[in-house]
Chains A and B, each alone.
Chain A
Amino acid sequence: MSFQLTFEPFPQPDGPLRYAPVPWDSEVYGFPFYELRGADTSPEVLSQHLSPWLSSLPTDQPCLVYSKIPTRAVAQAQVLTAHGFYPVETIAEISLPLARIIPLAARRPGQGQLRQARETDLPQVIAIARSAFSNDRLHLDPNLSPEKANERYGQWVERGFDASEPIFVYEDRRTGQVIGFFHIREIAPKTIDLSLAAVSRAYQGSGLGALMYEAVLTECQARGYQTAITRITINNLEIINLFARLGFMFRAAVLTLHWFRPTREKENHDR
């Protein structure tokens, strides 16, 4: 999401382990979520401090920790999995110089149009956000509720609207129906992050979403941006192929692992 996390050290005051509460996920799921900085933490530090830190987490409610590490960080992955972390998702980080967009089709249907979202679009956009995703870690983790994952994505776009962040919709000119949306953020001069995008399930596979992606990139180029970056789960091969067709290049791969503990009461009951 587009919000900054505040990482805290463990053990105090200047411990080498870094973790941050994730307030927006904690709010949606009703129990604490944390991100553990695994990428720039050595396996030795993880080995030394992970158990004490995990033991210090609340036990009167479920708790989830996630850590994102480069896929080549096998030593860190080994330590994390030895402490109960499990892999949930591999993300490809990709980028495109916008001057190199590759057109997808010889022409585009005139019936669709891209425009900036209005407040009246919010219900349709939220409905799409709440139903379009299924390949991400929050939907695939069997310890987590898919309904809560849907709610999370709905809140993501709602917060984007509230913060007046750029959200585009691709609509059917004739009916006014929103086919898909795009939430983007400027993360550096001339660089945009395609933060979140989705196509209504009724239109997935039709190619219209692909046109939406192309239209957003073209629009960003027209507005003076030079580079687009984004992250996609490798579970979604259709989208990976689409981005490759548009000219995106792969820059990095990140593995996300989860650690989940139900309440102590449930743990004891299950033994």
Chain B
Amino acid sequence: MKHLNAVRELIALTFGIPPDQVTLDTKQNDLAAWDSIGHLNLMLALEDAFNITLELEEMARLTSVAALLEHLEKVCPSN
């Protein structure tokens, strides 16, 4: 769970909400600000923050904190 805090902070910053509203179980449907444009901005922020490039099908799939963490473990593995 190396990236959990970073992802929570990123989501909170992108959507303008307190980080404690973001948990491991949080999904797109749980947050009003996480609409399609919010999701786009989150994906771009994720690319910038972690210096990665997301494929479009990955962008469509990463709609929960759990999915984001799983993906980051693959592309930015914890040591």
**Which residues in A have some Cβ–Cβ distance to B below 8 Å?**
104-107, 109, 111-112, 172, 174-175, 177, 179, 202-211, 238, 241-242, 245
Which chain B positions have C-beta within 8 A of A174? 55-56
B contact residues around A109 at 8 Å (CB): 43-44, 54, 56, 59
Nearest opposing residue in chain B for A112, CB measure? B56
A245 to B53, CA, bound (A): 26
- Are the CB atoms of A207 and B55 closer together than 8 Å? no
**Contact A205/B55 with A105-B41, A109-B44 known, Cβ cut-off 8 Å:** no
> Known: A111-B56, A203-B60. Is A241-B35 also a contact (CB below 8 A)?
yes
Contact of A211 among B28, B35, B40, B57 (CB under 8 A): B40
What are 25 A-B contacts with C-beta separation under 8 Å? Answer: A104-B37, A105-B40, A109-B43, A109-B44, A109-B54, A109-B59, A111-B53, A172-B56, A172-B57, A174-B56, A179-B56, A202-B57, A204-B36, A205-B35, A205-B36, A205-B60, A206-B43, A206-B59, A207-B37, A207-B43, A208-B56, A208-B60, A241-B35, A242-B36, A242-B37
Given contacts A179-B56, A202-B60, contact A209 B44 (CB under 8 A): no
**Contact (Cβ within 8 A) A206 B35:** no
**Contacts from B to A (Cβ < 8 Å):** 28, 35-41, 43-44, 53-57, 59-60, 63
Cβ contact within 8 Å between A206 and B55: no
Residues of B within 8 A of A205 (CB): 28, 35-36, 39, 60, 63
Looking across the interface, which residue of chain B has its beta carbon closest to that of A172?
A: B56
Report the minimal beta-carbon distance from B79 to chain A, rounded to whole angstroms: 29
User: Which chain B residues lie closer than 8 Å to A175 at the CB level?
Assistant: 57
Chain A neighbourhood of B53, CB < 8 A: 111
Main secondary structure of the interface of B (DSSP, over half): helix
Residues of B within 8 Å of A106, CB to CB, are: 44
Query: In the complex, what residues of A have CB within 8 A of residue B28's CB?
Result: 205
Neighbouring A residues of B44 by C-beta, 8 Å: 105-107, 109
Distance between Cα atoms of A203 and B55 in the complex (Å)? 12
Given the complex of chains A and B, what is the CA–CA distance between A38 and B38 in angstroms?
Answer: 40
> Given contacts A238-B35, A241-B35, are A207 and B57 in contact (CB under 8 A)?
no
Given A106-B44, A107-B44, residue A207 in contact with residue B39 (CB < 8 A): yes
* B-chain residues with CB within 8 Å of residue A111 when the two chains form the complex: 53, 55-56
| Contact of A209 with B36 at beta-carbon distance under 8 Å, contacts A105-B41, A109-B44, A202-B60 already known | yes
CB distance from A237 to the nearest CB of B (A): 9
Tell me the complex Cα distance, A242–B40, Å.
12
Complex Cα distance A179/B56, Å? Answer: 9
In angstroms, Cα B39 to Cα A241, docked, is 14
Instruction: Give the residues in chain A near B39, CB-CB below 8 Å.
Output: 205-207
Partner pick for A208 among B35, B41, B59, CB 8 A cutoff: B59
Which residues of A have CB within 8 Å of B54? 109
Cα distance A104–B41 when bound, in Å?
9
**Nearest chain B CB to A223's CB is how many angstroms away?**
25
Query: Are the C-beta atoms of B55 and A208 separated by less than 8 Å?
Result: no
A177 to B59, CA, bound (A): 14
A245 contacts across to B, CB distance below 8 A: 37
**Assembly CA distance A60 to B35 (angstroms):** 47
A contact residues around B63 at 8 Å (CB): 205-206
